[in-house]
Amino acid sequence: MADLLSIENLRAGYGEAVVLPDMTLRLAEGEVLALLGRNGTGKTTLINSIVGVTRRFGGKVALGGRDLTAMRPDQRARAGIGWVPQERNIFRSLTVEENMTAVAQPGPWTVEKIYEMFPRLKERRSNFGNQLSGGEQQMLAVGRALTLNPKVLLLDEPTEGLAPIIVEELLRALGTITRSSGICSIIVEQNARKILGLADRAVILERGAIVHDAASSALKADASALERFLGVAGKS
C-alpha cells in the first residue's frame, strides 16, 4: 500500500535546540500508529513538526505525495492534517456547535455525525466551550478536528487527566474513527496498555529517534521491550 504520510530525514526542534535529529517515518492510509516513549523523548515534537509549529532544520513532510514542508500550520490543516493537541485549544467563547462549524470542510465527517458518536456534545450543543467538563472538551477537540475531514489525525495524549469512564468512551470513539474512515492516525499515549489494543503499529522513541517499530500485537506480547523502553510490565 502506498504511503499516505511520509516524513523523510526530518531534523526539527525549538529555537536552537534539535529534538528530532533525523526522523524518517511512513504511514499508510488507514494505519493507526501508537507513538510511545517516556517523557521528553520527542513524541510531542514529532506531532508538532507534522503540524508545522516547530523549527525545521532539514528534511521534509509529505501527505499523499504533496510536499507540506513549506506550508504554514493553517495550510497544512486545509491539506488534510487534523490535530488534537494536549491543550485541546477549543474556542472557549464559542458554543459546541460553533466550534465545529467554524472549521468544518466538506466530507463524510459532519457535525451531525460527530453528535452521533458523542451524544454528550449534542446535549450541550448550545453550551460555550468554557462550560464543558474536561472530558467534554476533549470530545469537542476530537470532533472539531474531524469536521476538517482530515487525511491524517494526530492526537497528543488524548486520555490524559480524564476519568476512567470518559477514557473508555473516548477510546471506543477512537476505535470507530480509525476503523471506519480510512484516516491515518498517530496517537501519543503515556500508558501503552490503553492504546496497543487500538493501534496497528507501535513506534517507541528515545532521544528523538525510533528505537522500536513493530506491530502493536507484537509489542504487547514483548514483555522485555515494554520493560526496557517504557518501564511497564508486559501483562495487561
- Domains in the chain, CATH or no CATH each: 3-230 (3.40.50.300)
**Angle value at C-alpha 103, between 102 and 109, nearest 5 degrees:** 115
Mean pLDDT of the chain: 93
- Helix (H) or strand (E) holding 57, with range, is strand 55-63
Q: How far apart are CA 62 and CA 23, in angstroms?
A: 13
Q: To which H or E segment does residue 202 belong?
A: strand 201-206
Distance between CA 137 and CA 87 in Å, rounded? 10
Give the whole-angstrom CA distance, residue 111 versus residue 152. Answer: 18
Write down the pLDDT at residue 1: 58
Phi, psi of 34 (to 5 degrees): -90, 120
Amino acid at the residue 210: I
- List of the chain residues with pLDDT < 50: 234, 236
pLDDT number for residue 127: 97
- Kindly tell me the burial class for residue 100, based on how many C-beta atoms sit within 10 Å of its own C-beta (0-12, 13-18, 19 or more): buried
Burial of residue 144, with CB atoms counted within 10 A of its CB: 0-12 exposed, 13-18 middle, 19 or more buried: buried
Characterize the bridge pairing of strands 201-206 and 17-28: unpaired
pLDDT score for 2? 73
137 Rama sector, left if φ>0, alpha if ψ -120 to 50, beta otherwise: alpha
pLDDT of residue 178: 79
Q: What's the CA gap between 18 and 24, in Å, rounded? A: 15
